[in-house]
């Protein structure tokens, strides 16, 4: 009797807009959870879902091929009955008809919709951004162009000293290119890391041949006699064979906003990754999500966040209990440096440095007034990262004195 009534239900349909790390993963998690309905995954790019982090690192240096980038082998989508629409742009979400309309006019109906549209590179505010010599790095196609341009001896000007800029600078040096980084702020990583970390990476990169122009803005990129020249605000002209712009990302929230979903620099979601429409979820870089650990709503551009939200949405759609909440974390590889960051430096009363930056191995802890670690930035310091991440998640009270002493094990800093 029960079986008959289940069979009588129409098979639920899940449609995912965006075939990046978040979209590709949620499709896989739905099947892992036993979701038996149809899954349609719609992506604007031509490749199957792939990992973006290696594009500025291992892939750029030729250490990882296209297959290694793929999130899942092509066969996976067939075996798991995940219908892929690649090279396909979605034009609109019709919430009353529960329907998604694609650019070619085709429509697809959903019972649950997942918006995983990601973020796009922020456009640089200078003249000449449409010149072919000016590149950005977001997609595999962008990375392909960048790789072709980064020949030994090529003069690369990188606009923006954030993670993308510094990772590409390190890879470009490894490939034998000349690199100048132009950063508007007085230090690299100004918006995303503490001053100690900025100083460390400034020294580390400088010692490996990267030149910096700090506190400088680009006014324009011009072609002069067939060669590109980057003009800075102090009048300096930098000759360039390629210009990479890495000045941040903006969430692709327009589709959601036009459908009337609430957005605020990111599609607003709850801890089930649900938007204000109960049939629509949003996950990954395009969202602004609650972070109970910090009592705030934040937009996190990271793979771990995309995976966490993919698990939240997959659990909710399958009526399973919500997954355990995670401490946000990030990583970056530059030259032979492994940077691992856990938590966010919010509500910080004190900063504690453990280890010696001059020895290329240290960690910066950001501690609240009630002696809880809020964030840790660890440079070649795995125990500090691993234990720090756990202490942040546990809201454990710690001893600042013990934390500061690298001779005391990280296992003994909690009170």
Partner 1 sequence: MPQITFITADGTHRTVDARNGDSVMQTAIKNGIPGIDADCGGACACATCHVYVEDSWKNRVNKVGDMEASMLDFAQVVLPNSRLSCQLQVVEALDGLVVAIPESQH
Return residues touching partner 1 (CB under 8 A). 28, 31-32, 51, 53-54, 71-73, 76, 80, 303-304, 307, 324, 326, 329, 331, 333, 338, 340, 382-383, 386-387, 390, 410-411
List the one residue out of 235, 199, 231, 250 whose CA is nearest residue 364.
199
Q: Minimum CB separation from partner 1 for residue 199, in Å?
A: 23
CA separation for the pair 340, 376 (Å, rounded): 8
Q: Minimum CB separation from partner 1 for residue 148, in Å?
A: 24
CA separation for the pair 327, 403 (Å, rounded): 20
Structure token pair of residue 133: 């010599």
Q: Which is nearer to partner 1, 54 or 345 (CB)?
A: 54
Q: Minimum CB separation from partner 1 for residue 89, in Å?
A: 27
List the one residue out of 209, 268, 214, 224 whose CA is nearest residue 133.
224
Q: Which is nearer to partner 1, 181 or 310 (CB)?
A: 310
Strand partners, 119: 251
Q: Minimum CB separation from partner 1 for residue 361, in Å?
A: 11
Q: Minimum CB separation from partner 1 for residue 344, in Å?
A: 17
Angle at which helices 21-32 and 303-317 cross, to 10° = 40
How open is the CA angle 245-55-216, to the nearest 5 degrees? 20
Could you identify the residue written with the tokens 């125990």?
383
Q: Which is nearer to partner 1, 229 or 340 (CB)?
A: 340
E strand or H helix at 75: helix 74-79
Q: Minimum CB separation from partner 1 for residue 387, in Å?
A: 5
Q: Which is nearer to partner 1, 192 or 218 (CB)?
A: 192
Q: Minimum CB separation from partner 1 for residue 78, in Å?
A: 12
Q: Which is nearer to partner 1, 112 or 332 (CB)?
A: 332
3-state secondary structure of 9: coil
Q: Minimum CB separation from partner 1 for residue 339, in Å?
A: 9
Query: DSSP H helical segments within 189-326, as ranges?
Result: 195-207, 254-258, 303-317
Structure token pair of residue 354: 């453990």
CA separation for the pair 142, 154 (Å, rounded): 17
Q: Which is nearer to partner 1, 75 or 96 (CB)?
A: 75
Q: Minimum CB separation from partner 1 for residue 48, in Å?
A: 12
Q: Minimum CB separation from partner 1 for residue 26, in Å?
A: 13
E strand or H helix at 76: helix 74-79
CB 163 within 8 A of CB 189: yes
Q: Which is nearer to partner 1, 27 or 367 (CB)?
A: 27
Q: Which is nearer to partner 1, 183 or 308 (CB)?
A: 308
Beta pairing class for 82-85 and 38-42: parallel
Structure token pair of residue 7: 């069979």
What is the rounded (10 degree) CA torsion for 201, 241, 231, 214?
Answer: 0
Q: Which is nearer to partner 1, 204 or 329 (CB)?
A: 329
| Distances in whole angstroms, Cα of residue 277 to Cα of each of 96, 185, 217, 280 | 11, 40, 42, 5
Q: Which is nearer to partner 1, 218 or 317 (CB)?
A: 317
CA separation for the pair 237, 228 (Å, rounded): 10
């Amino acid at each position: 009797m029960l079986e008959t009534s289940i069979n009588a239900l129409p098979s639920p349909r899940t449609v995912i807009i965006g075939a990046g790390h978040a979209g590709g993963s949620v499709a896989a998690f739905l099947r892992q959870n036993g979701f038996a309905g149809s899954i349609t995954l719609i992506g604007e790019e031509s490749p199957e879902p792939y990992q973006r982090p290696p594009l500025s690192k291992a892939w750029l240096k030729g250490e990882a091929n296209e297959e290694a980038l793929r999130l899942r082998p092509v066969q996976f989508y067939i075996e798991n009955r995940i219908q892929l629409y690649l090279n396909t742009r979605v034009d609109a979400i019709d919430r009353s008809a529960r329907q998604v309309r694609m650019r070619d006019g085709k429509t697809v109906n959903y019972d649950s919709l997942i918006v995983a549209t990601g973020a796009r590179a922020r456009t640089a505010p200078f003249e000449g951004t449409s010149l072919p010599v000016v590149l950005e790095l977001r997609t595999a196609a962008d990375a392909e162009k960048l790789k072709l341009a980064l020949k030994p001896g090529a003069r690369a000007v990188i606009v923006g000293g954030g993670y993308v800029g510094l990772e590409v600078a390190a890879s470009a040096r490894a490939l034998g290119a000349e690199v100048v980084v132009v950063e508007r702020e007085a230090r690299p990583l100004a918006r995303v890391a503490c001053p100690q970390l900025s100083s460390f990476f400034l020294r580390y990169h400088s010692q490996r041949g990267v030149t910096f122009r700090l506190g400088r803005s680009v006014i324009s990129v011009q072609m002069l006699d067939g060669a590109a020249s980057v003009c800075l605000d102090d009048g300096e002209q930098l000759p360039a064979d390629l210009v990479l712009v890495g000045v941040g990302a903006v969430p692709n929230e327009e589709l959601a906003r036009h459908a009337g979903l609430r957005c605020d620099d990111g599609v607003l979601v709850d801890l089930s990754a649900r938007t204000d429409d109960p049939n629509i979820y949003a996950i990954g870089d395009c969202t602004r999500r609650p972070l109970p650990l910090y009592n705030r709503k934040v937009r996190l551009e990271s793979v771990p966040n995309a995976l966490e939200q993919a698990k939240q949405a997959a659990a909710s759609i399958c009526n399973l209990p919500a997954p355990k909440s995670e401490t946000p974390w990030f990583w970056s590889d530059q030259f032979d440096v492994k940077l691992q960051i856990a938590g966010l430096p919010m509500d910080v009363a004190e900063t504690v440095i453990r280890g010696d930056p001059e020895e290329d191995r240290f960690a910066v802890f950001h501690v609240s007034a009630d002696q809880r670690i809020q964030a840790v930035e660890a440079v070649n310091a795995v125990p500090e990262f691993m234990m720090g991440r756990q202490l942040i998640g546990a809201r454990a009270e710690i001893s600042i004195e013990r934390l500061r002493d690298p001779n005391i094990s990280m296992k003994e800093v909690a009170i």
